[in-house]
Structures are given as C-alpha cells and as structure tokens.
Amino acid sequence: MAWLKANVPDARVRHILRVEEMAIDLANCHKLDSKKAARAGLMHDLAKFFGPLRLLQMAQKEGLTLDAVDIANPHLLHAEVGAIVARDRFGVFEADVLQAIRDHTLGSPGMSPLSCVVYMADGLEPGRGHTHELEELRYLSRQDLDQSIWRLADYSLRHLLNSRHPIHPRTVLTRNWFLQKVLKRSP
C-alpha cells in the first residue's frame, strides 16, 4: 500500500481497492483462491501511471512481442509491465497471479478463471458506474464467468468504437473465444 500511495494518485488507489474487493467476492462466488484474487487485484495497476517510454522500454527489455497498437498506445502495456513490477519489485512468482495481472485489461483467449475474475473486477467495480447494463454484467459475473467475459468484452468494444479509440486485437480475440465457448455449450 505504501508503494501504491507513493506512485499512484488517490483516485486510482481507491479503484485498486475496489477491484481487490470485487476480485475477492468473485473468487469466493466461483470457489477460487481469494488470496490470489486479492493479490492480483491489488497489483493489477502497478504500472498504470508509468510514462509511455518507460512502458515500451520495460516491455522490450522483457522481450514482449509488441504489435502496432501497443507501440501507438503504450498505456495498453501497463498490464504486462505491471506483472513485471509485481515479480521484480514485490517478489510475486505465482504464475497464475502474474497472468491475471497481465490479462486484466485486454483479456486473453482461454484465460484462467482467476484471470477472468480480475478482468471482471477491473471492468465492473462499483466506481465504473451504475448503468442498467453494468448492473446486469455484475449480476452475470457472479453466475457465469464465460458469458460475462464475452459480454463485458462486447461492452468494452462498443465503448472503444464510440470514443474512436484503437482496438487491440487481443480484445477481439478474447471476446470471440468466450463467445464461442458459450455458444458451444448452448443446446
């Protein structure tokens, strides 16, 4: 917490604490390790306020494969770089916790239930608003992780399209993967 308070604005610290709380709640709902969910939730935005050059340099040093969207929008790398900070600065070596930190912004096809919980908590924590659609997604996130990932990705894509932001291919891949998983189990 001391590191967060020194490196992250107060409003973002409050967001992080809401994500941690929601990740714990969702982990309990889905019978996952709530301590791992708490750790990933608490550390998901460690690199959120790093500058673009620092994000690019750390990603390149780590050997991450960058595409044109990453290079044009380095802030999208904060999830990947946040996992590096969690490992190197805070000694987190649990592969699933690090992966959940990496996946929290763009998602990933086939991501683990722990990653799903952190992705959902980041996108749906109460500070994101209280629209009818967000409330439905919050309810669904407690019932069905796969369907809620697909629908939250749809929600995010609509927002990105409406605000004319670039769309990272991984967001589309995540959405399609979870949509197909849900459709396969439908009668």
Crossing angle between the packed helical segments 78-90 and 34-43, to the nearest 10 degrees = 110
**125 contacts 14 by C-beta, under 8 angstroms:** no
Question: Which parts of the chain sit beneath pLDDT 70?
Answer: none
Q: Residue 1: its pLDDT value, please? A: 81
**156 contacts 171 by C-beta, under 8 angstroms:** yes
First to last CA, the chain: 47
73 phi, psi to nearest 5 deg? -135, 70
How many angstroms separate the CA atoms of 141 and 121, rounded? 9
How many angstroms separate the CA atoms of 3 and 1, rounded? 5
**34 contacts 143 by C-beta, under 8 angstroms:** no
In the block, tokens 């805070």 appear at 90
In the block, tokens 């590096």 appear at 84
pTM of the complete model: 0.95
48 phi, psi to nearest 5 deg? -60, -35
CA distances, 165 to each of 4, 64, 143 (Å): 28, 23, 30
Residue type (1 letter), 5: K
Crossing angle between the packed helical segments 132-143 and 10-29, to the nearest 10 degrees = 40
Q: Residue 133: its pLDDT value, please? A: 95
Q: Residue 9: its pLDDT value, please? A: 87
Residue type (1 letter), 177: W
Q: Residue 2: its pLDDT value, please? A: 86
Q: Residue 3: its pLDDT value, please? A: 87
93 phi, psi to nearest 5 deg? -120, 5
Q: Residue 5: its pLDDT value, please? A: 85
How many angstroms separate the CA atoms of 96 and 94, rounded? 6
Q: Residue 179: its pLDDT value, please? A: 97
User: Can you tell me whether residue 186 is helix, strand or coil?
Assistant: coil
Residue type (1 letter), 148: S
